[in-house]
Structure 1
Amino acid sequence: MLAIASITGPIFILIALGYWVSWRQWFAQASVRALGQFVITFALPAMIFRALTRQSFAEVVDLHYLLAYGLGSLLALGLGMLFARVVAGHDLRLSTLFGLGMSMSNSGFIGFPIVSQLLGAKAGIALAMTMLVENALVFPLGLILLESHAANGKGWVYLLRQVAGRLLRSPLVIAISTGVLCSLAGLQLPGVLSKVLELLAQASVALSLFVIGGSLVGLKTRGIVRRISPIVLGKLLIHPLLIFLLLHFLLPVPAWLQVAAVLFACAPMMSIYPILGQKYGHEGLCAATLLAATVASFFSISGMLWLQG
């Protein structure tokens, strides 16, 4: 247990530090958002691109990993939506938010700092494949479902075009696609550019954890614990369990990739979850869910590390 605490402890201490500094108003919320924008626009893309270009294409892409993580995430999305529609009686939009909360991990800001302590440079490869599934499959599908009522008769072609445009402008998607192409072609960056990417990549871990802590300030769970419990349990238990079962029994991968996939799935939902909820009038529910899942993920991640040995 001491070894597990040495992995998870620093992660959540940095999150707590970000929370405390923002709560004390030493950092304004606008500053925290700016740091988060830096991480998602520069630091994480640099880390992903650097990791992909330092490996051969065969080491970068594992089809079993992509299939298992994609299928497991889609199953979690579907189960979340089914529960919200059939059991809780919610409409399609809120049901989709339930499903996205259960299936979309904060793989970059929380999952990667943990996986990188176990796998080193290989963590970037696993993160790239995870984010490819999330950004090219699960999140676009969720956006299409959320926006289907707002299409005003423009049809599915309009929705697909809007989502595709947003996807192609994402720095993370650009970093993944260009990194894979460079790996496939065997291209290497000049030493100066490689060093720039290395320095940017080094900033990703600490800053991302600090940003997560700061973004939790002001979120409350009071009064809606019962409503958010299914999403939290689905994200922290059902999603990683589905990924584990698929990788263990149907789509085997190397042991280090299995560990990475399960730990990424153990991370709480994406940090923009309350922003999505705000657009559709459910910001309170989504904010409370994010706070509860982030706190509870300390125990789910620690438990998964213990089970995985």
Structure 2
Amino acid sequence: MSAFLAALVPVILITALGRFLGWRKVIADDGWRAIERLAYVLLLPALIIRALAKAPFEEAPWKLMVVLILAQCLLGAFALLARRWPGIRRPEIGSIIQSNVRWNTFVALSIASALFGDEGLALVSIAAAAMIPVANILSVTALTSHAERGDLPKRNPVTELARNPLIIACIIGGALAAFNIEIPELLDLTIDLLGQGTIALGLLAAGAGMDVAALGRSGVKTVTWSLVRLIGLPLLAISGAIALGVSGTSLAIIMISAAVPTATSSYILARQLGGDAPLAANLIAMQTVLSVATMPLIWFTCLSLGLF
């Protein structure tokens, strides 16, 4: 089995286990949401801080950040073509744009760490620092501007970013690395213990929260825009990376970060901000399933072309 498949299969199995546990109601739905929240506000930030503080590279890979941000913006703009889809409603457009710009950080971290160890974790953390703010701003703007409800809560994406635990973690970890500050041993061990369960819990919660019934509701629209997201974002990102001369591990991380499915939190935000929540659920489920085929396809295509 290739190294990539060896990294991908455990992700699939843990996500499927989460779906099974959710189906069996081993943990109540509110419990899964609490686990996901814990992983997001505490465990994942701990993992990111330690990964960035111990990053084994000498200079910030700014090209990686630029490429991923540009790819997000371009695919988000491309989703505006959804307006031409016969009979489409405005909230559906907002959900499609959000689906195009969000990504599943837990899947990317799992695959990158399995393939590239600490360097993979650090580079995906940097990708998160670049992509998460852009995804939030584009998603909130798209959902609210295409909403048809007048009772929506007002949300300032810039203010929310300042409180985002992942952004705060990236700043702390980046500062530690920039000033060569070592984390005290006991604190380092504590943060390490917190981070160890992050990816597994995140994948389990993502699986438990996936709406399998949404696959049965999926039509041509869901399949089409899922493929646009799963193929379009990595194609744009890889093309930009090659144009800027990015190669090796950084290029592989760009591919992984762009090729993972959209974030499972897309459903909650679509429901809160006037998007089409059922369509968001359909896109999450369809992309999660299709990515099992599209990610290896993109990876092995890049290998055959000698890109990494």
TM over 0.5: yes
Aligned match of 1:114 in 111, 119, 135?
111
8 A Cα contact 2:109 2:124, kept in partner? yes
Q: Structure 1 residues 92 and 268 mapped into 2: Cα distance closer, same or farther (>3 Å)?
A: same
Separation (CA, whole Å) in 2 of partners of 1:89 and 1:246: 34
Which residue in the other structure is 2:306 paired with?
Answer: none
Which residue in the other structure is 1:51 paired with?
Answer: 51
1:142 alignment partner AA: S
Separation (CA, whole Å) in 2 of partners of 1:175 and 1:196: 15
Which residue in the other structure is 2:82 paired with?
Answer: 84
Q: Percent identity?
A: 24
Which residue in the other structure is 2:225 paired with?
Answer: 231
Q: Any idea what SS the aligned residue of 2:216 has? A: coil
8 A Cα contact 1:57 1:184, kept in partner? no
Number of matched pairs: 299
8 A Cα contact 1:46 1:200, kept in partner? yes
Separation (CA, whole Å) in 2 of partners of 1:127 and 1:140: 20
Q: Any idea what SS the aligned residue of 2:245 has? A: coil
Separation (CA, whole Å) in 2 of partners of 1:308 and 1:256: 12
Deviates more, 1:91-100 or 1:260-269: 91-100
Task: Give how far 1:300 is off.
Answer: 1.2
Separation (CA, whole Å) in 2 of partners of 1:281 and 1:189: 43
Task: Give how far 1:43 is off.
Answer: 1.3
Deviates more, 1:123-132 or 1:36-45: 123-132
Q: Structure 1 residues 73 and 143 mapped into 2: Cα distance closer, same or farther (>3 Å)?
A: same
8 A Cα contact 1:57 1:180, kept in partner? no
Which residue in the other structure is 2:292 paired with?
Answer: 298
8 A Cα contact 2:94 2:276, kept in partner? no
Which residue in the other structure is 2:15 paired with?
Answer: 15
Q: Structure 1 residues 145 and 288 mapped into 2: Cα distance closer, same or farther (>3 Å)?
A: closer
Q: Any idea what SS the aligned residue of 1:27 has? A: coil
Which residue in the other structure is 1:263 paired with?
Answer: 256
Deviations 1:101-148 (A, max 9, x none): 122111x22111111111100122222222122222232133133334
8 A Cα contact 1:44 1:201, kept in partner? yes
Structure 2 residue runs without a partner (length 5+): 304-308
| 1:199-210 → structure 2 map (5 Å cutoff) | 199-210=193-204
1:234 alignment partner AA: V
Q: Any idea what SS the aligned residue of 1:120 has? A: helix
Deviates more, 1:94-103 or 1:258-267: 94-103
| 1:151-300 → structure 2 map (5 Å cutoff) | 162-217=156-211, 219-248=213-242, 250-279=243-272, 280=274, 282-300=276-294
1:124 aligns with 2:121: yes
Separation (CA, whole Å) in 1 of partners of 2:61 and 2:87: 39
Structure 1 residue runs without a partner (length 5+): 153-158
8 A Cα contact 2:262 2:284, kept in partner? yes
8 A Cα contact 2:136 2:157, kept in partner? no
1:136 aligns with 2:129: no
Task: Give how far 1:305 is off.
Answer: 2.7
Aligned-CA RMSD value: 2.3
8 A Cα contact 1:56 1:186, kept in partner? no
1:5 aligns with 2:5: yes
TM-score normalised by length of structure 2: 0.89
Deviates more, 1:37-46 or 1:91-100: 91-100
Deviates more, 1:235-244 or 1:137-146: 137-146
Q: Any idea what SS the aligned residue of 1:222 has? A: helix
Separation (CA, whole Å) in 1 of partners of 2:211 and 2:115: 29
Which residue in the other structure is 2:92 paired with?
Answer: 94
Separation (CA, whole Å) in 1 of partners of 2:174 and 2:69: 18
Q: Structure 1 residues 88 and 74 mapped into 2: Cα distance closer, same or farther (>3 Å)?
A: farther
Separation (CA, whole Å) in 2 of partners of 1:88 and 1:46: 46
Task: Give how far 1:231 is off.
Answer: 1.9
Q: Structure 1 residues 220 and 122 mapped into 2: Cα distance closer, same or farther (>3 Å)?
A: same
